[in-house]
Amino acid sequence: MKIKKFIEGLEIIKKYVKDDNATIASGHDIVWLCDIDLITDDKDIKKLEDLGFFEDEDFWACFT
């Protein structure tokens, strides 16, 4: 994933994550970012998908 797309996706997710102590997880070639149910706006969901983010194990995720 290109860094610009990754940052743009993080900016969308940041609007929904209210906990300043929220963390991300990574393993092999995937980064898991937040619970899939946190993102509720259809436009934001579509934009994340267009950027290459996807649902994995009930989290928003992306390949590195």
Total number of domains in the chain: 1
Q: What is the pLDDT of residue 20?
A: 76
Range of the domain at 36: 3-63
Given the DSSP bridges, would you call strands 54-56 and 25-27 parallel, antiparallel or unpaired? unpaired
Cα–Cα distance, 60 to 31 (Å, whole number): 8
Reported pTM: 0.89
Per-residue pLDDT of the chain (64 residues; tens, 9 = 90+): 899 999 999 999 999 998 877 778 999 899 999 999 999 999 999 999 999 999 999 999 999 8
Residue type, 23: T
Residue type, 53: F
E-state strands within the chain:
25-27, 30-35, 54-56, 59-63
